[in-house]
Amino acid sequence: MLKERLKEIKAMPLEELQCLNGQQRDELTAAMLEAIGSTDEELRDGLIYSIFYRLAAEGVLTDRELASILEVCLDEGHLFYKIDEPSDDAVFTRSFSSLVIALVLCQDKTRKFLPPAKVEQVFHRSVEYLQREQDIRGFVEGKGWAHSIAHGADMLAEAAGHPGIDLDCAEETLKAVGAGLFKQGHYSNEEDDRLIFVIEALIAKGFPDERLSEWIASVFEKLQAIHEKEKYSAGFFRNKTNVLNFAKTLYFRLVFRGGNPAAKERITENLEHWHGVLYGRTS
């Protein structure tokens, strides 16, 4: 029933969507939020998320409605739903709630309907989510994309890049990105690219090159500590793969953007170091 209704909604021209009254919009968004974690990929991703995106981007939802949707997505039954329990289908609820939160933040950058305290709360909840999420599966056969780290990174990038969040929050932001790199598994679905969106949001606000360089050094120091403790364990290699892939991607993103010579040099030094550690040579 819901799926068929959403197919009709998705096919509507903008003029018809704008004719939905407040009660109809409220009933529609409530139904979508209730089913946001469905294991039906078409319903969850192809319909619910796509419709939320369209309703937000095309201005169909009011400021009040967007704020109400945000409140639901931030709660324990959505962004943090069963987050401390073993991996299961609850990850879809968390992951797709984070994407909707990112949509609302993006709208607020220009519409400015969220109070400053709410923007700060969203930022802190975004940080907390990326630190606590442990189900890092990308594509789940038969159920579609979970992609929790990538979606969480999208949310944090929107939060860190929001004009209501200043660079005093940069250290907390980087701590969350670092936590994202040291999960119990290795990434293979471009999660590193999405985490770099968070770094780019900080750079766009003028985050100093030297501080970025120091943070990069701290990430490699953590990898070194794991290596000293675990040697060449499977866990070490998972962390090594995540960190080195992230560093390589970040290096080229910095090259494309221009600037950040200290950060690029720090990456180069550490990649050369780890090449020597792993393969016994420096060239």
pLDDT in tens, 230-271: 999 999 999 999 999 999 999 999 999 999 999 999 999 999
pTM: 0.95
Q: How far apart are CA 76 and CA 64, in angstroms?
A: 21
Least confident of 10-19, 127-136, 155-164, 181-190: 181-190
Q: What average pLDDT does the segment 218-229 reach? A: 97
CA distances from 70 to 98, 105, 265 (A): 10, 9, 40
What does the alpha-carbon distance between residue 151 and residue 52 come to, in Å, rounded to a whole number?
15
Does pLDDT of 158 surpass 90?
yes
Q: Alpha-carbon distance 82 to 76, whole Å?
A: 8
pLDDT value of residue 229: 96
178-202, pLDDT tens digit by residue? 999 999 888 999 998 999 999 999 9
- pLDDT over 60 (residue 153): yes
